[in-house]
Amino acid sequence: MEPKELFARNLRAARGRIGISQEALAARAELHRTAVSLLERGGRDPQLLTMVRLARALDVELSVLVEGIR
């Protein structure tokens, strides 16, 4: 599986665990909802700062979002 696909899967799972919408996550991370949607579908390569913002918004370690990526 490609790294961005693994990141997408991990991001969706982390968001699902806390039960918030893409829109709510985007607001918490100060991103646009379409950016979150693209990241969750593997349609965009995440930048480091974006990954950090998402991890903080989800209240997880960054390692949770990149788990399985080699």
Residue-wise pLDDT for 54-69, tens only, equals: 999 999 999 999 999 9
Query: What is the domain extent for residue 18?
Result: 3-64
**What does the radius of gyration of the chain's CA atoms come to, in whole angstroms?**
10
In a domain, 52, yes or no: yes
Q: What share of the chain is helix, strand, coil (3-state, %, to 5)?
A: 70, 0, 30
In a domain, 70, yes or no: no
In a domain, 19, yes or no: yes
Q: Say which CATH number the domain at 36 has.
A: 1.10.260.40
- Give 1's pLDDT tier (boundaries 50, 70, 90): confident
Number of domains in the chain: 1
In a domain, 69, yes or no: no
In a domain, 42, yes or no: yes
Query: What's this model's pTM, rounded to 2 decimal places?
Result: 0.95
Residue-wise pLDDT for 23-46, tens only, equals: 999 999 999 999 999 999 999 999
